Amino acid sequence: MTKPQGLTPDLVQDFAAFAVGAEYDRVPDEARDKARKSLLDTLGVCLAASGLEPAARGMNAIVREHGGAPDCTLLGFGGRAPAMMAAMNNGALAHCLDYDDQTPWGQHCSSSIVPAALAVAERQGGVSGRTLITAIAVGQDLFARMRRNVAWKKDWNLSTVLAIYGATAACGRVMGFDQRRMIAAFSAASQSSAGVMELVSGTGSDLRAVYAGFSAKGAVLAALLAEQGASGLDSLFEGPNGVLPTYFASHDSAGMRAGLGAEFQGGATLYKRWPAVGTSHSHMKAAIDMVTAEGIAPDEIAEIRLAVGDFHMLGCTPLEKRRAPETLVDAKFAMPFLVAVAIVRRGMSVADFSPERLRDPEVLATAAKVVPVPDPSLDWTMEMPPGRVEIVLADGRRFTATGTQVPGNADAPMSWDDVDAKFRECCAAALHPPAPDTVARVCAMAQGLDGLDDATEILRVLTQTTANRGAA
């Protein structure tokens, strides 16, 4: 439902008023908790990407080439750069492994929000943990509201098209904007709101790995322009040629406004236990449950039938490339390969994505047995539909399961202990792994973020082992 023009203020005004007026004490406990977890989770996946995904190195090289004021931390590789470039470097790392958090309705926003908010917080200095928590919670809420209330045709990449507004809101909240400047920042952000799904679902390019770097950078740039006095547009989102009618066939502005300022929808944020596209996880879980319960060895399997909806099918096409992906980035979106890894390993970790593991003969032989079976009932509209798998053995026996209780999903959420364990796993995979005592201290700082007078102290602690090497 598109809002009739002239009856109510444009959403940009409501979103701006909410973002600038949000206070820590009015953020629900669950949303605060998810903001803290998202900070730690994002820092961890950034570090792991520095050691595991070559695609991030090019972005880091560009950041270093352009130099500038050493205001902000470059995660993973060490060194410092201006806020906008640090956000680009760190945002690129944040989605590299497809291990960043997600909403129950799919897509990723924290990989844009956290790097952007941290960059402007370092630039500004003295930003408290409470302010950073509030900023992240505001950004996550706005992203969820937009994602849930637009008619998505799987053409635009919602993770970048929409996350830039959540990240911009977080930046403006950190920087203490008034409503006028927040509207200006949102307006400037619209110039960097972009991304098509072909980049996500196509094969052969590693740019999917770094896409969050563009939206994180764009959010910081938008906030800096607003700080410099750029003017905004009061009809940005719902004007005749505004953001929402341009990108989407329809939108529900009433749904976006419902509970604004009282219900923080980022409280539903989910954390991944497996570094792969979220729509594959339920198929992986179904396969793991069957081979574990029945004691099935990979060489006993004759065929693996995946019931797939429209979005699942993107990860199965072209089938031969999805069975044997050629790049680490493609592997994380390749449904047959991912299910094969889950069957062979009976789980998955960041260690399963290396050039050597891509050529694992047992995994490839298992992936060659995967056959996608279209099932329109599993088409993705809002919440990600659960996957169903049938395993046919060489002796004729058949087993079928639907993936439930997926680690990290709403029915099996990750506790702080789980997020800490993931963070430790990620740190161990970093280009420059932090010392164990540093890792433990950072975990404690994230949980106690509310008590920090300067939230960016967590970055200084985390990077103390890489600062000298990165500057060399």
Q: C-alpha angle with apex 266: 440 to 20, nearest 5 degrees?
A: 100
Q: Report the predicted TM-score, pTM, of the whole model to 2 decimal places.
A: 0.95
SS3 261: coil
Q: Per the structure, how many domains does the chain have?
A: 2
**Residues 390, 398: Cα–Cα separation, whole Å:** 7
Run of H or E including 64 = helix 55-66
Domain boundary among 268, 290, 310: 268
Mean pLDDT of 40-53: 96
CA dihedral 33, 35, 41, 47 (to 10 degrees): -140
**Residues 137, 169: Cα–Cα separation, whole Å:** 10
Question: For residue 303, what are its two tokens?
Answer: 């065929």
Mean pLDDT of 96-125: 96
Amino acid at site 452: L
Tell me the CATH number at 334. 3.30.1330.120
Domain boundary among 385, 402, 419: 402
Residue 466 lies in a domain: no
Question: For residue 323, what are its two tokens?
Answer: 């069975």
Closest CA to 354 of 80, 42, 51, 9: 51
**Residues 278, 387: Cα–Cα separation, whole Å:** 11
Closest CA to 429 of 21, 5, 49, 30: 49
What pLDDT does residue 60 have?
93
Going by pLDDT thresholds of 50, 70 and 90, the confidence category of residue 7 is low
Q: Do 388 and 245 fall into the same domain? A: no
Q: Which stretches of 39-166 are assigned E, i.e. beta strand? A: 72-73, 80-81
Is the pLDDT at 368 greater than 70? The verdict is yes
Residue 443 lies in a domain: no
Q: Do 282 and 245 fall into the same domain? A: no
Mean pLDDT of 99-115: 96
Going by pLDDT thresholds of 50, 70 and 90, the confidence category of residue 466 is low
What contacts 373, CB < 8 A, 6 or more positions away?
305, 306, 307, 308
Give the chain's end-to-end CA distance (angstroms, integer).
55
Q: Do 257 and 290 fall into the same domain? A: no
**Residue numbers of the domain that contains 316:** 278-402
What pLDDT does residue 465 have?
63
Q: Do 89 and 219 fall into the same domain? A: yes
- Give exposure, 386-418, as e/b (b: 16+ Cβ within 10 Å): bbbbbbbeeeeeebebebeebbbbeeeebeeeb
CA 409 to chain CA centroid, Å, is: 14
Residue 170 lies in a domain: yes
What pLDDT does residue 386 have?
87
Is 470 or 344 the better-scoring residue by pLDDT?
Answer: 344
What pLDDT does residue 129 have?
98
Tell me the CATH number at 36. 1.10.4100.10
Q: Do 264 and 282 fall into the same domain? A: no
Going by pLDDT thresholds of 50, 70 and 90, the confidence category of residue 2 is very low
How many helical (H) and strand (E) elements, i.e. helices and strands, does the chain have? 24, 6
Is the pLDDT at 472 greater than 60? The verdict is no
Residue 463 lies in a domain: no
Q: Do 73 and 213 fall into the same domain? A: yes
Going by pLDDT thresholds of 50, 70 and 90, the confidence category of residue 383 is confident
Q: Do 133 and 101 fall into the same domain? A: yes
Q: Are 370 and 340 in contact (CB under 8 A)?
A: yes
Q: Do 135 and 256 fall into the same domain? A: yes
**Residues 373, 366: Cα–Cα separation, whole Å:** 17
Residue 462 lies in a domain: no
Q: What is the pLDDT of residues 134-148, one digit of tens each?
A: 999 999 999 999 999
